[in-house]
Amino acid sequence: MQEHKASNLAEDAEDPFAIDIAEGLSDADIAYTLQALDAEDFIGLKTIIEELSPNETAELLAKIGGDERRALLERYGAQLDPVVFLEMDPELRRACLNEMPPERVAIIVSDLESDDALDLILPLDEDIQREIIKKLARKDRIAIEEGLNFPEDSAGRLMQREFVSIPQFWTVGKTIDYLRAASEELPDDFFDLFVVDSAHHVVGEIPLGRIVRARRSEKIDDLALEEIHTIPATMDQEDVATLFRREDLTSAPVVDEDGRLIGVITIDDVVDVITEEAHEDFLRLGGVEQGDMYRAALSTSGYRFRWLFVNLLTAILASVVISFFEATIEKIVALAVLMPIVASMGGNAGTQALTVAVRALATREISGINALRVVWKETMVGAINGAAFALITGVVAGLWFSDPMLGGVIGVAMIVNLICAGTFGTIIPILLDKAGVDPAVASSVFLTTVTDVVGFFAFLGLAAIFMA
């Protein structure tokens, strides 16, 4: 954009649009672009768009308003690198592509490798997908339709269909000659060659480095790795990511139900899965969805309402527990002052255990053989912290209200609630996972209920027994 500034808009030293973007896209750069759009400086805008990287262009489209985004896409959508749309949040991508003619989206899809092409259109509505697929060339259309037939979040949807396979009876020399002759038909980037038999079953993998270092006369069969990491097309993408992490893979072959090679998954695809799953779990712990930032307010409110309503019900349950001790609270007003402390500490301690458990489940660090050990460890952590904070809050409460008994009651309640928080903060996500429910979505609601009910019941119950 420095050249653009020198050759177009910044020739006049007084030009208000002249800015320096040497350090990347900033708020000032975005404001500068919007000013150029308002001034209808279309030559300058074209230069700006051409000089932005795909990531920067995606960031620009994400941060500007809907009207400005539509104006830019209408005028410059055809010039954008297709990778720009892959860098967008799926919800924003859906909004942008929905406003573009199917013919234009089909051109974008055709310029991408098969896995990226499928990823591009997945967020779109089915009727729009069909319109786009109709505009594709036969080869691209078949690849997209096959990908859509695989289960959601499966290896079949994650894989790309461009790969390098060679017969097991070839030599290194013949393989190198083939790679050079077929360079235009090969994937843009690949890390391994897959050795196949006459039925197209994978019988070996060869890292590209082995081919480069080997003599031309060596047989392919002799170079192939002994261990083959084939991935069924129906395998869940989280399991694929776990396999890549455990085996330190850069790529792996994908096979159909008959064991025939149909695609490849590469490390860049797996990094995207890991990032996506981490973001998804993080957002779900808060009861929100990916893409909330780009959805209409009514749609966002509808999703969040469901979980807020569940939280309302759990809060009512906690209030019911408090109502059982209404007479005790009336006699000892200090209880109403101290109740939030017990509930808050239990909730925070439970969230710590819950976060550890959800992450461990996502990375397959918890299984049936060590689940009890993990629960016991978090229970002990809760007991130790409970004892420490019981001493602190007990002394503070006793001195504050000049009542040692009150300090003792809140101290014991603190121990009980933090033990409960550690135990159930681990047990709840494990049980939900075994029941087939995403623990990142539902755990926090159940945990909040348990810590509130136990905290209030322990604190008020002990007060009713020893202080009423």
Q: The dihedral of CA 62, 68, 74, 76: what is its sign?
A: negative
- Verify that 146 and 169 share a domain, yes or no: no
The DSSP code for 9 is I
Mean pLDDT (the chain) is 83
pLDDT-derived band at 384 (thresholds 50, 70, 90) equals: very high
Domain range for 41 is: 2-150
- Verify that 139 and 6 share a domain, yes or no: yes
Q: Which residue from 161, 164, 172, 160 is spatially nearest to 192, judged by alpha carbons?
A: 164
Question: What share of the chain has pLDDT > 90, as a percent?
Answer: 29
- Verify that 324 and 183 share a domain, yes or no: no
- What's the number of domains the chain is made of? 3
Distance CA 417, CA 366 (A): 24
Residue 287 lies in a domain: no
Residue 160 lies in a domain: no
Q: What are φ and ψ of residue 451, in 5° steps?
A: -65, -35
- Verify that 43 and 84 share a domain, yes or no: yes
Residues, the chain, total? 468
Q: Please tell me the predicted confidence (pLDDT) of residue 19.
A: 38
Residue 400 pLDDT > 70: yes
Task: Find how far residue 439's CA is from the centre of its chain.
Answer: 15
Domain stop point among 150, 185, 202 = 150
Distance CA 371, CA 377 (A): 10
CATH code of the domain covering residue 387? 1.10.357.20
Q: Please tell me the predicted confidence (pLDDT) of residue 20.
A: 45
Q: Which residue from 346, 365, 335 is spatially nearest to 430, judged by alpha carbons?
A: 365
Q: Please tell me the predicted confidence (pLDDT) of residue 292.
A: 54
Q: The dihedral of CA 330, 333, 339, 340: what is its sign?
A: positive
Residue 427 pLDDT > 90: yes
Residue 24 pLDDT > 90: no
Alpha helices in 99-227 (DSSP H): 102-110, 114-121, 126-134, 138-149, 155-158, 172-181, 208-213, 220-223
pLDDT-derived band at 8 (thresholds 50, 70, 90) equals: very low
The identity of residue 11, as a single letter, is E
pLDDT-derived band at 13 (thresholds 50, 70, 90) equals: very low
Q: Both tokens of residue 193?
A: 């060659």
Average pLDDT over residues 388-417: 93
- Verify that 423 and 373 share a domain, yes or no: yes
Q: Please tell me the predicted confidence (pLDDT) of residue 122.
A: 86
> Measuring CA to CA, how many Å separate 130 from each of 103, 108, 116, 153, 309?
12, 15, 17, 20, 37
Q: 152-202, pLDDT tens digit by residue? A: 889 999 998 889 999 989 999 999 999 888 877 788 788 899 999 989 999
0.85 surpassed by pTM: no
92 Cβ contact partners less than 8 Å away, ≥ 6 residues apart: 61, 62, 291, 294
- Verify that 143 and 206 share a domain, yes or no: no
> Measuring CA to CA, how many Å separate 36 from each of 11, 33, 81, 84?
15, 5, 21, 21
Q: 228-264, pLDDT tens digit by residue? A: 899 999 999 989 988 998 888 989 999 999 999 999 9
- Verify that 172 and 141 share a domain, yes or no: no
Q: Please tell me the predicted confidence (pLDDT) of residue 187.
A: 83
The identity of residue 73, as a single letter, is L
Q: Please tell me the predicted confidence (pLDDT) of residue 11.
A: 40
Task: Count CB atoms within 10 A of the CB of residue 115.
Answer: 23
Average pLDDT over residues 211-221: 91
Q: Please tell me the predicted confidence (pLDDT) of residue 382.
A: 93
Q: Please tell me the predicted confidence (pLDDT) of residue 216.
A: 92
Residue 283 lies in a domain: no
The answer to whether 26 touches 52, Cβ cutoff 8 Å, is no
- Verify that 178 and 105 share a domain, yes or no: no
Residue 412 lies in a domain: yes
Residue 307 pLDDT > 90: no
Residue 16 pLDDT > 50: no
Most confident of 4-8, 179-183, 226-230, 403-407: 403-407
pLDDT-derived band at 286 (thresholds 50, 70, 90) equals: low
Residue 282 lies in a domain: no
Domain stop point among 150, 175, 191 = 150
pLDDT-derived band at 53 (thresholds 50, 70, 90) equals: confident
The DSSP code for 197 is -
CA distance between the termini of the chain: 75
Rg, C-alpha atoms of the chain = 30
pLDDT-derived band at 304 (thresholds 50, 70, 90) equals: low
Residue 290 lies in a domain: no
- Verify that 333 and 455 share a domain, yes or no: yes
- Verify that 145 and 181 share a domain, yes or no: no
CATH code of the domain covering residue 207? 3.10.580.10
Q: The dihedral of CA 255, 256, 259, 263: what is its sign?
A: negative
Residue 393 pLDDT > 80: yes
Average pLDDT over residues 254-282: 85
- Verify that 110 and 45 share a domain, yes or no: yes
Domain stop point among 121, 150, 179 = 150
171 three-class SS = strand
Residue 156 lies in a domain: no
262 Cβ contact partners less than 8 Å away, ≥ 6 residues apart: 156, 159, 161, 233, 254, 255, 256
Q: Please tell me the predicted confidence (pLDDT) of residue 325.
A: 82
Q: Please tell me the predicted confidence (pLDDT) of residue 290.
A: 58
Can you tell me which residue has the tokens 């500490």? Answer: 345
The identity of residue 232, as a single letter, is P
The answer to whether 96 touches 61, Cβ cutoff 8 Å, is yes
CATH code of the domain covering residue 48? 1.25.60.10
pLDDT-derived band at 303 (thresholds 50, 70, 90) equals: low
Residue 277 lies in a domain: no
466 three-class SS = helix
The answer to whether 460 touches 323, Cβ cutoff 8 Å, is no
- Verify that 419 and 456 share a domain, yes or no: yes
Q: 127-138, pLDDT tens digit by residue? A: 888 899 999 988
